[in-house]
Amino acid sequence: MEMKTVLAAIFVWAVIFTVPVLVYGAFHAVTGLQPPGNSPTLFLLGTAVSKLGTAIAFVGIFYLARDAIGGQWLFYAGIWWFMFVVGEVGQAITPDYSWEEAIAGIVSETIYFPASGLILSWLVRP
């Protein structure tokens, strides 16, 4: 694996961790949305680890399929976006997750998946 691919994973992780923090922070300021659980620190730590897994999968799959995907990074990011949006809707149907949280998640994903795809287009080429 090339150094640019490792850098892409680091940059993608930074984007997909930072964007939701900013979006949920904005939702908190406007609507009072609270982070789940009793400890915001543990919530952020759990989110960081979860987003690391997503970043590795996002970059790793693209890296392995880059010859087949070619320059279609936006389509690739769109597939991931759709998958995560369906997940947000599914969670919002449950009693432990609000529609407000789902909307914040969808806004985040609408920002970070195209941004992450753009990072891939710059650093991981066929």
Separation of alpha carbons 114 and 121, rounded Å? 10
pLDDT score for 34: 80
What does the alpha-carbon distance between residue 65 and residue 47 come to, in Å, rounded to a whole number? 27
- Quote the tokens at residue 59: 């970059």
Average the pLDDT over 93-119 and give the result.
94
Q: What is the pLDDT of residue 73?
A: 94
Residue with tokens 């997503």, as numbered in its chain:
54
Residue pair 16/116 in contact (Cβ under 8 Å)? The answer is: yes
Q: What is the mean pLDDT of residues 38-55?
A: 90
- The answer, yes or no, to whether residue 1 has pLDDT greater than 70, is no
Q: Does residue 36 register a pLDDT over 80? A: no
Q: What is the pLDDT of residue 96?
A: 84
Confidence of residue 106 (pLDDT cuts 50, 70, 90): very high
